[in-house]
Amino acid sequence: MTHPNNPRSSAFIRVPLLLLLLLLAACQTAEPTPTAVPATNTPAPTRTHQPMPVNTAVPTATPTVLPSPTAVPTDQPSPTPTLIPTPLPRDVRAALQLVADGFVSPVALTAPGDGRLFIVDQVGVVYVLDQAGNRLPEPLIDLRAQMVDLDETYDERGLLGMALHPEFVANGRFFLYYSAPLRPSAPADWDHTGIIAQFTIAADNPNRADPASEQVIIEIDQPQTNHNGGQLAFGPDGYLYIGIGDGGNANDVGLGHPPEGNGQTRDNLLAAILRLDVDSAAPYSIPADNPFVGQPGLPEIYAYGFRNPYRFSFDAGGEHGLIVGDVGQDYMEEIDVVVSGGNYGWPVREGTTCFNKGGVTSPLPECATQSAYGDTFIDPVLEYRREFGRSVTGGYVYRGSAIPELYGRYLFVDWVTNNETGGRKIYYADPLLTSSGLWELVTVPLTQPDGSELPGFYSLSFGEDTANELYLLTADYYQPVGSSGKVYKIVPAP
């Protein structure tokens, strides 16, 4: 595997504000680059969107209590948070311990808190790993009959995300995001409808869902196959957060993309992170403190201006911040700290650069700093170019105990690193020592637990258990084919 370009050190690179970094987006990597359909002056077709009730009371400021690490018997409690920033460790290494294999394309992992793990496979199946790491013969749920047929040459659709309700142990509720055939009310020439639905665990079997329990929470029509986002997560406030991409194609133009791009309109639910209350009313209600309640646009939107916020997470410690990896077009990848009402600039900006639809690898010298709504664009906290990687996959602030040197650092991965090759490394960005500017990025080489070299792979996603230990989900192919998908636990290197 070719190591990233690094003029300063083989162990890390600093990502300065003015260095323009190059990267191909996940939806453009390893698939034929879609032809960018020229923007028209015709707005995107109007979507049918049923207004939902707004909560009458502002939620309490007390965050939801996070699951105790001791819920997983084999894991140790997390250490006490480091209050004084520690120097950046330059020589941290880690190992990948194989937990399970034989998946097609594992894209998400959740932990119910009893030692089991739920593994989401893009092809439409959620598997159960028991406390010993054995995959049960029957899946938790199989949605393949309800989904679109996936393209085995490359596809970003599928079963993309899963979130367990904060009271899952008591109520058995969980939520899935999957790509369904286009609903009748959608524009006829669009591609599919993204569905976020609630399910419950079967009354007679904790390892099986009741397929008849499905309740559709929200439907979002997608004009193209790519840029679907996919992350579902409950925040410390108890609300459900949903990551949705800009609708697909390239450059946020073409069918289903208004002149300003879906990234810069609040009139649809694309290119945004949504925030829903799934407890106060069915199918959901709007939290009273959502930023655009009573403002122009849709009140479900929590933050917008994203291209493809494929993976995000809440810090399990500290201030429980929301951090997202937003996949770039052909020039820049970025990590953003998400705030209520934030606008992150796409397609006016890509990272800190001015995006050029006419020459995507040649940023414009200047561009707008605000949206048409008057929102000032928010800079990323980290960005990098194609010489370093090709498609950012957001990760987690590490709050586990296995690798103390990484405690409090943000771990993430790139889909393939550079040169379209499988990666044998993860990265961490250090927010502890930086009060302004971009975070520093440090490489963490990976090995087998015995110190031997890992095979190459595509890094598909991260996962976190209730002890805040992290997992890396991989496959040997970028297509949803075969059975090379693996789940690894990140453990100390020998």
Q: What percent of the chain has pLDDT over 90?
A: 73
Q: 4 lies in a domain?
A: no
Please give the structure tokens belonging to residue 222. 């997608």
Confidence at residue 433, expressed as pLDDT on a 0 to 100 scale: 56
Tell me the average pLDDT across 451-480.
Answer: 94
What per-residue string of b and e applies to 117-153 under the rule 16 or more CB within 10 Å gives b?
Answer: bbbbbbbbbbbbbeeebebeeebbbbbeebbbebeee
86: confidence class by pLDDT, cuts 50, 70, 90: low
| Tens digits of residue pLDDT in 206-264 | 999 999 999 999 999 999 999 999 999 999 999 999 999 999 999 999 999 999 999 99
Lowest mean pLDDT among 269-283, 323-337, 433-447: 433-447
Q: Which residue type is seen at 341?
A: G
Q: Considering Cα of 353, then 359, then 365, then 369, what sign does the dihedral take?
A: negative
Q: 50 lies in a domain?
A: yes
Confidence at residue 432, expressed as pLDDT on a 0 to 100 scale: 63
Residue 198: pLDDT above 80? yes
Q: 301 lies in a domain?
A: yes
Q: 3 lies in a domain?
A: no
CB 327 within 8 A of CB 26: yes
Confidence at residue 456, expressed as pLDDT on a 0 to 100 scale: 86
Specify which residues 342 forms β-bridges with.
Answer: none
Q: 35 lies in a domain?
A: yes
Q: 6 lies in a domain?
A: no
| Tens digits of residue pLDDT in 103-146 | 999 999 999 999 999 999 999 999 999 999 999 999 999 999 99
- Write down the mean pLDDT value for the chain: 85
Q: 98 lies in a domain?
A: yes
The conformational region for residue 419 under phi > 0 = left, psi -120 to 50 = alpha, else beta, is left
Residue 436: pLDDT above 90? no
Rg, Å, the chain Cα set: 21
| Tens digits of residue pLDDT in 138-176 | 999 999 999 999 999 999 999 999 999 999 999 999 999
Q: How many domains is the chain partitioned into structurally?
A: 1
Lowest mean pLDDT among 48-57, 93-102, 191-200, 357-366: 48-57
CA atoms within 13 A on the CB side of 150: 26
| Tens digits of residue pLDDT in 23-39 | 333 344 333 333 333 33
Tell me the average pLDDT across 459-476.
Answer: 96
Extended strands (E) in 339-389:
349-350, 353-354, 382-385
CB 439 within 8 A of CB 382: yes
| Tens digits of residue pLDDT in 445-462 | 999 999 999 988 999 999
420: confidence class by pLDDT, cuts 50, 70, 90: low
In sequence order, what are the residues at sequence separation of 6 or more whose Cβ sits closer than 8 angstroms to the Cβ of residue 405? Answer: 89, 92
Q: 313 lies in a domain?
A: yes
Report the CATH number at residue 114.
2.120.10.30
| Tens digits of residue pLDDT in 183-194 | 999 999 999 999
| Tens digits of residue pLDDT in 377-409 | 999 999 998 777 778 999 999 999 999 999 999
Confidence at residue 424, expressed as pLDDT on a 0 to 100 scale: 82
440: confidence class by pLDDT, cuts 50, 70, 90: confident
CA atoms within 13 A on the CB side of 300: 26
pTM of the model: 0.85
Residue 58: pLDDT above 70? no
* Domain residue limits at 270: 12-492
Please give the structure tokens belonging to residue 217. 């929470």
